[in-house]
């Protein structure tokens, strides 16, 4: 029985998971994974069916051999033994009749011994002949017993052969029933596969339409956000120009005002004290340093921040120059944005499958060190898309368990990071299945933005 399979024209697993940004894409990926699983099961069922066919052929040959060879030979031997046994029994009966006749003759001879010496000699000869006959009878009895033992052995062998033949027939019946069940399962799986193949294109088209609509909406929102960003930048530039030219305007106004308006001049002068101008300058410097101040939350890191460089910042140099100890570099394998750059969370495994098959608690020393910073916060430098970015100061919250659905919604890199940190490379496939089924759970630590260190930002940009 030949089984053929056709692959549904869909993207690869890695590309599908990278493009699975909507529930429709996730549904498509799920359908495609079910198709692959069904194909693997059909292949295994096909191999088992071939093995069962070969086993059935072998058992059929054995049964034929047992019927044609063993039974025929045993029956011929049994018939021959029965013939020999009949002949021996006939001889034994004849010898017994002779013995009885000899005994009668012996009695007659004993009665006649007194009358004749010749009769005594005949009697002695008859006795000798009777002894010989008795010896032959003993030998015949021994032969009969030997033949009977052989017959018993052959009967036992015949019974064993019959039991083996019955067991073989039972195995054949069981194999045929199992093959029937396999064929029913294969037909049901083929029906399921055909249904999946019918549903997959429609689901793919529906997801494609939804992705197109979402992409159009996102592009419209991006255009509006860019326009708002440009408007805010223009307002910032206008504010800076007004702050630069406003003191000169006040001086010209004071020279043209009459003497009875001098109190108003004093109030204006007090409102533009040097300390106030310093505060405005510091405010404008913060606006220039922190790109987040004029962007909408929930964007993409690469679009919101300018990359420092592909060179890793030196925490030791930062500590020596700026005195900042709480600097952490994060990667997509354990750091996921919720709303960039305001909120995010670290993702870590709760357990580790160590040597000897024992489960151990994850130490998570790096997360605990970040939590100790408390309200001071941690300066985060994400390493995303091959470059480093400084995004601000953050606090790290307590651990929260994640469900199987939340784990499945994680980005692919974050899922791989959790699975890789949970055990040896040979166990990664099994560990991933445990996470997706909910038997293993990951934990996450919420991260919230509390500030932006301008000195650190300027230093990192100057030394990029």
Q: Is the dihedral of CA 119, 123, 124, 128 positive or negative?
A: positive
CA separation for the pair 64, 74 (Å, rounded):
15
Please answer whether residues 326 and 376 qualify as being in contact, where contact means their C-beta atoms are separated by less than 8 angstroms: yes
Residue 256: the pLDDT is: 40
CA separation for the pair 369, 319 (Å, rounded):
16
* Cα dihedral: 421, 427, 432, 434 (round 10): -110
Residue 175: the pLDDT is: 85
Side-chain half-sphere exposure of 204, counting CA atoms within 13 A: 14
- In 3D, which of 408, 452, 435, 423 has the Cα closest to residue 23? 408
The CATH number that domain 17-213 falls under is 1.10.287
Instruction: Give the three-state DSSP class for 364.
Output: coil
Residue entry with tokens 């993409």 = 300
Query: b/e per residue, 191-222, with b = 16+ CB within 10 A?
Result: eebeebeeebeebbeebeeebeeeeeeeeeee
Residue 195: the pLDDT is: 82
CA separation for the pair 79, 158 (Å, rounded):
13
Please answer whether residues 311 and 395 qualify as being in contact, where contact means their C-beta atoms are separated by less than 8 angstroms: no
Domain 302-464 has CATH 3.90.550: no
Residue 114: the pLDDT is: 64
Q: pLDDT per position in the chain (464 positions), as tens? A: 444 444 444 444 555 545 555 777 787 888 888 888 888 888 888 888 888 888 888 888 877 777 777 667 777 877 888 888 788 888 888 878 888 887 787 777 677 666 666 667 777 888 998 889 989 998 988 989 899 888 898 988 899 998 888 898 888 888 888 898 889 989 888 888 888 888 788 888 888 888 888 888 887 787 777 667 667 767 777 787 778 766 544 444 444 433 334 333 332 332 333 333 333 344 334 444 555 443 445 568 888 888 888 889 999 999 988 999 999 999 999 999 999 999 999 999 999 988 888 888 888 999 999 999 877 899 999 999 899 999 999 999 999 999 999 999 999 999 999 999 999 999 999 999 999 999 999 999 999 999 999 999 999 998 87
CA separation for the pair 72, 301 (Å, rounded):
87
Residue 113: the pLDDT is: 64
Q: Domain spans of the chain?
A: 17-213, 302-464
- pTM here? 0.40
Instruction: Give the three-state DSSP class for 337.
Output: strand
- Cis check: omega of the bond before 341, within 30 degrees of 0: yes
Measured between alpha carbons, how far apart are the two ends of the chain, in Å? Answer: 66
């Amino acid at each position: 029985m030949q089984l053929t399979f056709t692959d549904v024209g869909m993207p690869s697993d890695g590309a599908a998971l990278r493009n699975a940004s909507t529930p429709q894409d996730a549904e498509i990926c799920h359908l495609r994974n079910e198709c692959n699983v069904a194909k693997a099961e059909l292949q295994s069922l096909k191999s088992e069916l071939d093995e069962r066919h070969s086993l059935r052929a072998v058992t059929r040959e054995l049964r034929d051999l047992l019927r044609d060879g063993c039974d025929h030979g045993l029956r011929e031997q049994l018939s021959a033994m029965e013939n020999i046994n009949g002949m021996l029994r006939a001889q034994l009966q004849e010898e017994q009749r002779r013995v009885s006749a000899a005994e009668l003759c012996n009695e007659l001879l004993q009665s006649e011994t007194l009358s004749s010496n010749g009769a005594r000699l005949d009697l002695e000869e008859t006795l000798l002949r009777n002894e010989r006959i008795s010896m032959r009878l003993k030998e015949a009895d021994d032969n009969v017993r030997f033949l009977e033992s052989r017959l018993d052995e052959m009967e036992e062998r015949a019974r064993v052969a019959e039991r083996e033949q019955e067991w073989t027939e039972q195995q054949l019946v069981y194999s045929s029933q199992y093959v029937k069940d396999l064929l029913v399962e294969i037909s049901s799986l083929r029906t399921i596969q055909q249904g999946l193949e019918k549903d997959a294109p429609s689901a793919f088209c529906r997801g494609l339409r939804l992705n197109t609509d979402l992409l159009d909406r996102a592009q419209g929102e991006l255009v509006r956000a860019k326009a708002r960003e440009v408007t805010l930048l223009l307002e910032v530039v206008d504010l800076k120009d007004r702050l630069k030219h406003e003191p000169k305007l006040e001086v010209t106004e004071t020279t043209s005002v009459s003497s009875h308006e001098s109190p108003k001049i004093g109030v204006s002068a007090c409102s533009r004290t040097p300390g106030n101008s310093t505060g405005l300058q510091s405010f404008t410097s913060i606006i220039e340093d922190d790109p987040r101040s004029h962007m909408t939350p929930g964007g993409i890191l690469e679009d919101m921040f300018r990359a420092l460089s592909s060179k890793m910042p030196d925490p030791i140099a930062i500590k020596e120059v700026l005195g900042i100890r709480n600097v952490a570099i994060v990667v997509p394998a354990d750091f996921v944005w919720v709303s960039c750059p305001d909120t995010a969370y670290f993702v870590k495994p709760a357990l580790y499958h160590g040597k000897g098959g024992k489960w151990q608690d994850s130490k998570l020393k790096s997360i605990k060190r970040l939590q100790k910073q408390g309200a001071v916060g941690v300066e985060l430098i994400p390493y995303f898309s091959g470059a480093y970015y400084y995004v601000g100061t953050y606090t790290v919250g307590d651990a929260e368990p994640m469900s199987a659905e939340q784990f499945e919604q994680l980005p692919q890199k974050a899922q791989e990071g959790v699975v890789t940190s949970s055990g040896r490379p040979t166990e990664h496939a099994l560990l991933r299945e445990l996470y997706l089924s909910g038997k293993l759970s990951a934990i996450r630590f919420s991260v919230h933005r509390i500030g932006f260190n301008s000195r650190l930002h300027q230093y990192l940009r100057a030394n990029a």
